[in-house]
Structure 1
Amino acid sequence: MAVTVLIQLAYPKALSYFIDNINVQKDMAWFSSLALIMLAVLAVQAVAATARYYIFESTGYMIVTRIRRQLYAALIGQPIRFFDKHHVGELNNRLTADVEVLHDTLTMGMAVSLRCLCVFIGGVVMLLTISPALCLMLVFFLPATLIIGKMTGKVYRKRARLMRDGQAECGKVAHEHFSNIRLVHAFSQQRTARARYAGATEHALSLSVSSSALFALFRGGSSFLVYLALLGTLWFGARLIGQGVLSVGDLTAFILYASMVTEAAGAIGEFWNAWMRTIGATEWIFEVVNSDRAPGAAKGEAHGEVRLQGNLAFNDVVFSYPERPDAQALKGIGFSIAAGETIALVGASGAGKSTIASLILGFYQPDSGSIAFDGIEAHAMPLAGIRSKLAIVEQEPSLFSGSIFENIAFAVAERGVTLDEVKAAAALAFAHDFISGFPDGYDTVVGERGAQLSGGQKQRIAIARALLRDPRILILDEATSALDSASELQVQRALDTLMQGRTTIIIAHRFSTIVKADRILVLDQGRLAQQGTHAQLVAQQDGLYFQLMRHQLARAGAQPVAA
């Protein structure tokens, strides 16, 4: 950059020398020598410009890649409450589009501004050496350009943040509909989807257009000041030539230097506005990367060896979701589970069953009360160590779009997993046979969220994943409720294998699943209403459990329906 700037600053002086000596030098050898020198200088400038461009561009890509990695690491480590507040589509947009905004500013924008700053300083020095009197014409115009750039930069920063928020909202709407594309088509809601996206993009467009208008006013005003400065320079320069104080070559050089300086000043002001836009667009990124608002994430990554027998206790736990602080999901829940015991959580929707599972997994922390594993309070143990002894099988298993092997091996984070280990877990989950029947076997790609597999197949892969983890405490969240009878039978066999010797917490509504539990906890609006065995609770016909189960009991022929 220094080389290119020095050569650029030498041009007007060389041109001045050429103009003032063109009538003096009559020998063509002088012109040829000057042309060869200029050719060599141009070659050096071309090499320097190429190197400058490559270095700035590649460095910008490296910086942006590093920031993207840092942002992803910060996002993936955020506690679950963070993802309750921020939509996945929004985060995706932040990770891609928002980070990309930095590239242009950090590469050619930064390179051009630094070069313009050097040209500006060098040009001012050259102007003063040619004619201090002419420089008076620029004293007003240059500061005015810089001041206008600074004033508009503040506005750009605010507008840029609003624009990025608008773009993030567009990403959120698009991701939401793409993620539920089957539902959109099933209910013929393409028109609604288009309307919602059009509304989001219209808002983003209005912000962009208003910012463009402001930017256009700045460019127009800066351009007017530049040409006004040059016009004034020409007028005053012509007077100085008439007085014999200045030569034609010096005036030509002065105009060229003045053009450089005014152009550089405009570019610096423009870069300042671009930098303010970039800061406004990326403030959220650096807030996430640099903030300490994720203590749960830091705790979750703190590894430590934890040995659990499988005893679990809730001690007067009160909890409200961060987004609904006024509505208590759990209201003084207290119970204990012995190692190896199977517990069923029963209750109407919203009673707090899944909330208990989320607290056990450490997704949230109780507002008051405590959770203890083997008599030790959870907050005194490393969260990653606790989670290494837990596993969950959900109603709709969460599968990645990779291979079956990758989805089962996902259970173990601390080391690599061999194919034999995965096959052994799949065999215990009664999944090996259907996996082997695929042409690609364990390398079969399951598609997004396991779209290429049936419900029973997905469930058995999730069970194989849990078996490979070898947990001490197992959570089954409606693990068979979405399956047909044949698939349920196969999955239940796999679950029976998985549950052997483990503390098991079953969230279920089906009588066939609940009746197998050693003990049943009945929840009602965040409180523990009843607990006991199936026989004990059925005998209490005025109790909540009987009211919840009486229709299923009647169908099963286990108990007549009370009038």
Structure 2
Amino acid sequence: MTSAVVFIVPIVILIGSTFGSILRTISNEAQNENVKASTQFEESISNIRTVRAFANEQFECSKFENTLERSKNLNTLLGYGIGVFQAGTNLFLNSIVLGTLCLGATLMSTSQLTPGDLMSFLVSTQTIQRSFAQLSLLFGHFIKGKEALRRILYYSNLSPKISLSDGIEINENAFIPTIEFENVSFAYPTRPKQSILNNLNLFIPPGKTVAIVGTSGNGKTTIANLIERFYDVNNGTIFISGTDIKNLSPNWLRGSKIGIINQEPILFAQTIRENIRYGKNICYSDFQVYEAAKNANAHEFILNFPDGYDTILGERGVTISGGQKQRIAIARALIKNPSILILDEATSALDAESERIVQKTLDEVGKSKTVVIIAHRLSTIENADIIIVLKRGQIVEVINFFFVNFYEYSSSFFLLVLLFFLILLRFLLLSALAEITQVLKINTRQINTKDCIFTIIKDKSYIQ
């Protein structure tokens, strides 16, 4: 009987392992469908205004129901598989007991086994039965838990390609807000074959406002992302204050030296005060919060809310308008007083009057900073010192906008200066001509006098 048990149990374990592998595959697919359903639901709720704007409520519901149906089918199949495994395990264990009794009775009838030995063997087999029964009950939880643990370990073991804290911090007095791209080439990891920047060479001097323009898809926002070091370049080097950006601490660089205002600002479901203070992880005073809001032309509309700065915003700031969100985001960037300011269509969501006021504020704030403007509108870049035109990831033109404005808005001054010089030249010419005429008249008189004396002397008869 021992030989029979030793022979059968490994076979059953092998069958159970094979069956368990199939169930793990089903469990993995079910987990993926669950994640897909959750993501789809969250996306639909987050973009509910867009869904309603296009009257696609039924379409989203149908899409979500289809995803849920696939998830339900896979989970049902997984449940059936676990049930079959547990039923098969119980059947096998009970078969062991039944087989032990039948085989033991046969051996007892031939006097090859005593009743005491049979009872001892039954107790042993029941111990094995109870152990396997407990394992079969835990097997379903084990399959689901193992897949969940696998996903958790996958993400927890991921290490960031860019370490957040490694790197040096440049002393405040030694930091110069210069930006330099040296032969930089870059492609996004999700599109490695589509190059965005191609051997880009760019130098942004300190304290200057540089506007980067060009059609969509030519790498304007990519430059901003690389300055923030959200990605590392594929080739070339980026220097900040003359130091390779890879040698600088990203937390220090983003936390104190670079401020960014995106085209689509993201706000948290917190108070307005907390959103503005989020600009840096230190406790700012209310006075600093108010000053930043005033500079962003946000103070007035914030005070119009019933709770003022303690007004709680909805998720992603859905309870306020796009222009209000943008101004709060601008205040959040200005509160930490960064040395480098990146404006990625920062005023695109504002009306003309608010844009004029905020742009004036940004121009004033940017006088002591290195400002990188990414824009398409002329009103945003008209005060830039330098304009860089991008095409296919390369610089095709560089314009010093200061001289363009000077010639454009001072043309009448140049005309006045030119007219003044023409009048002065005419006056000088007339004066010179008058002098020449005067000299010629004097010489003519002298010549006539000499001729007269000579004639008198020669004509002796006249003297006689």
Query: Structure 1 residues 151 and 271, CA, compared in 2 at 3 Å: closer, same or farther?
Result: farther
Q: Which amino acid in structure 1 is aligned with residue 161 of structure 2?
A: P
Q: Which amino acid in structure 2 is aligned with residue 455 of structure 1?
A: G
Quick one: distance in 1 between partners of 2:34 and 2:309?
A: 40
**What residue number does 1:366 align with?**
233
Superposition deviation, residue 152 in structure 1? 2.1
Query: Quick check: 1:311 aligned with 2:206?
Result: no
* 1:479 equivalent among 343, 346, 349: 346
Quick one: distance in 2 between partners of 1:482 and 1:441?
A: 22
Superposition deviation, residue 142 in structure 1? 4.6
Superposition deviation, residue 401 in structure 1? 1.0
SS at structure 1 position matched to 2:196 = strand
**Equivalent residue pairs, number:** 400
* 1:524 equivalent among 387, 391, 394: 391
Stretches of structure 2 that go unaligned for 5 or more consecutive residues are: 407-464
SS at structure 2 position matched to 1:370 = strand
Query: Is contact 2:177-2:370 (8 Å) kept?
Result: yes
**What residue number does 1:173 align with?**
40
Query: Quick check: 1:280 aligned with 2:147?
Result: yes
Deviates more, 1:338-347 or 1:444-453: 444-453
Query: Structure 1 residues 465 and 328, CA, compared in 2 at 3 Å: closer, same or farther?
Result: same
Quick one: distance in 2 between partners of 1:382 and 1:235?
A: 76
Query: Is contact 2:383-2:402 (8 Å) kept?
Result: no
* 1:428 equivalent among 280, 295, 298: 295
Deviates more, 1:419-428 or 1:330-339: 419-428
SS at structure 2 position matched to 1:295 = coil
Q: Which amino acid in structure 2 is aligned with residue 403 of structure 1?
A: T
Quick one: distance in 1 between partners of 2:312 and 2:346?
A: 23
Superposition deviation, residue 139 in structure 1? 4.7
Query: Is contact 2:278-2:332 (8 Å) kept?
Result: yes
**What residue number does 1:186 align with?**
53
Deviates more, 1:316-325 or 1:526-535: 526-535
Query: Structure 1 residues 145 and 416, CA, compared in 2 at 3 Å: closer, same or farther?
Result: farther
Query: Quick check: 1:496 aligned with 2:363?
Result: yes
Superposition deviation, residue 426 in structure 1? 2.1
Quick one: distance in 1 between partners of 2:56 and 2:43?
A: 13
Superposition deviation, residue 477 in structure 1? 0.8
Quick one: distance in 1 between partners of 2:318 and 2:209?
A: 32
Quick one: distance in 2 between partners of 1:497 and 1:444?
A: 29
SS at structure 1 position matched to 2:368 = coil
* 2:271 equivalent among 396, 403, 414: 403
**What residue number does 2:187 align with?**
320
Query: Structure 1 residues 326 and 538, CA, compared in 2 at 3 Å: closer, same or farther?
Result: farther
Q: Which amino acid in structure 2 is aligned with residue 468 of structure 1?
A: I
Superposition deviation, residue 517 in structure 1? 0.6
Between the aligned residues of both structures, percent identity stands at 35
**What residue number does 1:302 align with?**
166
**What residue number does 1:4 align with?**
none
Query: Quick check: 1:266 aligned with 2:133?
Result: yes
Query: Structure 1 residues 152 and 319, CA, compared in 2 at 3 Å: closer, same or farther?
Result: same
SS at structure 2 position matched to 1:460 = helix
Query: Is contact 1:341-1:502 (8 Å) kept?
Result: yes
Q: Which amino acid in structure 2 is aligned with residue 454 of structure 1?
A: S
Quick one: distance in 1 between partners of 2:158 and 2:217?
A: 33
Stretches of structure 1 that go unaligned for 5 or more consecutive residues are: 1-132, 540-563
**What residue number does 1:148 align with?**
15
**What residue number does 2:452 align with?**
none
Q: Residues 313-345 of structure 1, C-alpha deviation per residue, up to 9 Å, x if partnerless?
A: 111211111111111111121121111100111
Query: Structure 1 residues 303 and 430, CA, compared in 2 at 3 Å: closer, same or farther?
Result: farther
Query: Quick check: 1:386 aligned with 2:250?
Result: no
Superposition deviation, residue 378 in structure 1? 1.0
Q: Which amino acid in structure 1 is aligned with residue 165 of structure 2?
A: E
Quick one: distance in 2 between partners of 1:461 and 1:529?
A: 35
**What residue number does 2:115 align with?**
246
Superposition deviation, residue 160 in structure 1? 2.3
Quick one: distance in 1 between partners of 2:391 and 2:98?
A: 83
Q: Which amino acid in structure 1 is aligned with residue 211 of structure 2?
A: A
Query: Is contact 1:137-1:232 (8 Å) kept?
Result: no
Superposition deviation, residue 281 in structure 1? 3.5
**What residue number does 1:467 align with?**
334
Query: Is contact 1:149-1:273 (8 Å) kept?
Result: no
Q: Residues 362-420 of structure 1, C-alpha deviation per residue, up to 9 Å, x if partnerless?
A: 0111111111112212112222222220011122211111111111111112x333333
Quick one: distance in 1 between partners of 2:45 and 2:198?
A: 38
Quick one: distance in 2 between partners of 1:369 and 1:140?
A: 66
Quick one: distance in 1 between partners of 2:88 and 2:371?
A: 72
Quick one: distance in 2 between partners of 1:184 and 1:466?
A: 31
SS at structure 2 position matched to 1:328 = coil
Root-mean-square deviation over aligned CA pairs:
2.9
Query: Quick check: 1:195 aligned with 2:195?
Result: no
**What residue number does 2:451 align with?**
none
Q: Residues 512-542 of structure 1, C-alpha deviation per residue, up to 9 Å, x if partnerless?
A: 1111111100111211111113476799xxx
Quick one: distance in 1 between partners of 2:310 and 2:168?
A: 33
Superposition deviation, residue 279 in structure 1? 2.6
**What residue number does 1:357 align with?**
224
Query: Structure 1 residues 303 and 461, CA, compared in 2 at 3 Å: closer, same or farther?
Result: farther
Query: Structure 1 residues 140 and 502, CA, compared in 2 at 3 Å: closer, same or farther?
Result: same
Query: Is contact 1:460-1:494 (8 Å) kept?
Result: no
Taking structure 2 as the reference length, what is the TM-score of the superposition? 0.78
Q: Which amino acid in structure 1 is aligned with residue 348 of structure 2?
A: S
Q: Which amino acid in structure 2 is aligned with residue 408 of structure 1?
A: I
Query: Structure 1 residues 477 and 428, CA, compared in 2 at 3 Å: closer, same or farther?
Result: same
Taking structure 1 as the reference length, what is the TM-score of the superposition? 0.65
Superposition deviation, residue 200 in structure 1? 2.2
Q: Residues 221-265 of structure 1, C-alpha deviation per residue, up to 9 Å, x if partnerless?
A: 212212222223444566789889437xx95x9767744531321
**What residue number does 2:31 align with?**
164
Query: Is contact 1:522-1:529 (8 Å) kept?
Result: yes
